[in-house]
Homo-oligomer: A and B are copies of this chain.
Amino acid sequence: MSKRSARSRRAGLKAGLPPGTPVYTGQAPERDPVISALEIRPDDLVEHAHLSPARCREFVRPGALTWIIVDGLHRPEKIQQLGECFGLHPLVIEDILNVAQRPKVEDYGEYLFLVARKLTLDEASGRVVSEQVSLVLGHDYVISFHETHPVLLDGLRERFRAAQAQVRTKGSDYLAYRVLDTIVDNYFLIADQLSDSVQQLEDEILNHPAREAMAALLGVRTSLIELRRAVWPLREVVGWLEKGGSDLIDAAERPYFRDLYDHAVQIMDVVENQRDLVASVHDLYLNSVSLRLNEVMKVLTVIATIFMPLTFIVGVYGMNFEHMPELGWKYGYAVVWGVILMIAALMLVWFRRKRWI
The residues in A between 194 and 220 inclusive whose CB is less than 8 angstroms from any CB of B are: 195-196, 199, 202, 206, 208-209, 211, 214-215, 218
A273 touches B14 (CB 8 A): no
Of B276, B303, B324, the contact of A320 (CB 8 Å cutoff): B324
Stretch in A45-53, A56-64, A76-84, A221-229 with 4+ CB within 8 Å of B: A221-229
Interface centre among A188, A263, A284 (most CB of B within 10 A): A188
**A256 interfacial by beta-carbon distance below 8 Å:** yes
Determine how close the nearest CB of chain B comes to the CB of A40; give it in whole angstroms. Answer: 15
Size band of the A side of the interface? 35 or more
- A259 CA / B208 CA spacing, docked (Å): 50
Q: Which residues of B contact A294 (CB under 8 A)?
A: 289, 292-293, 296
A293–B206 alpha-carbon span in the complex (Å): 19
Q: A150-169 vs B: 1/0 string, CB under 8 Å?
A: 00000100010001000100
Assess whether A319 is interfacial by the CB under 8 Å rule: yes
Interface presence of A311 (CB below 8 A): yes
Residue-wise, chain A 3-32 has the 8 Å CB interface mask toward B (1 for contact) of: 011001101101110110000000000000
8 A Cβ contacts from A262-284 to B: 262-263, 265-267, 269-270, 273, 276-277, 280, 282-284
Contacts of A19 in B (CB 8 A): 177-178, 181, 256, 259
- Tell me if A124 is interfacial: C-beta within 8 Å of chain B: no
B8, A192: Cβ atoms closer than 8 Å: yes
Residues 103-128 of A, flagged 1 when their CB comes within 8 A of B and 0 if not, give 01010000000000000000000000
> Chain B residue with minimal CB distance to A285?
B287
Least CB distance from A319 to B in Å reads 4
Q: Which residues of B contact A167 (CB under 8 A)?
A: 18
The answer to whether A270 touches B206, judged by C-beta atoms less than 8 angstroms apart, is: no
Cβ contact within 8 Å between A277 and B315? no
Q: Mark A170-200, 1 if CB is under 8 A from B, else 0.
A: 0000000110011001101101100110010
A contacts with B: majority SS:
helix
> Which of A66-74, A134-142, A328-336 is the contact stretch?
A328-336
Given the complex of chains A and B, what is the CA–CA distance between A91 and B321 in angstroms?
92
Given A311-B307, A336-B319, A256 and B91 touching (CB < 8 A)? yes
Give A83 Cβ to nearest chain B Cβ, in Å: 14
* Interface check A255, CB cutoff 8 A: yes
User: Are A14 and B185 in touch, CB under 8 angstroms?
Assistant: yes
User: Residue on B with the closest CB to A12?
Assistant: B188
Say yes or no: is A75 at the interface (Cβ < 8 Å to chain B). no
Q: Are A270 and B8 in contact, CB atoms less than 8 angstroms apart?
A: yes
Nearest CB of B to A32, in Å: 28
Q: Is the CB of B188 within 8 A of A15?
A: yes
Q: A300-B301, A320-B327, A323-B331 are in contact. List 18 more A-B contacts (CB 8 A).
A: A9-B195, A16-B185, A19-B256, A89-B255, A94-B259, A206-B211, A218-B284, A286-B287, A287-B289, A293-B297, A303-B308, A304-B308, A314-B318, A314-B319, A317-B321, A321-B329, A321-B333, A323-B329
Can you identify 17 A-B contacts, CB atoms within 8 angstroms? A12-B188, A12-B189, A19-B177, A101-B266, A102-B266, A208-B355, A229-B273, A286-B287, A289-B290, A296-B298, A299-B301, A301-B303, A314-B316, A317-B319, A320-B324, A321-B332, A323-B329
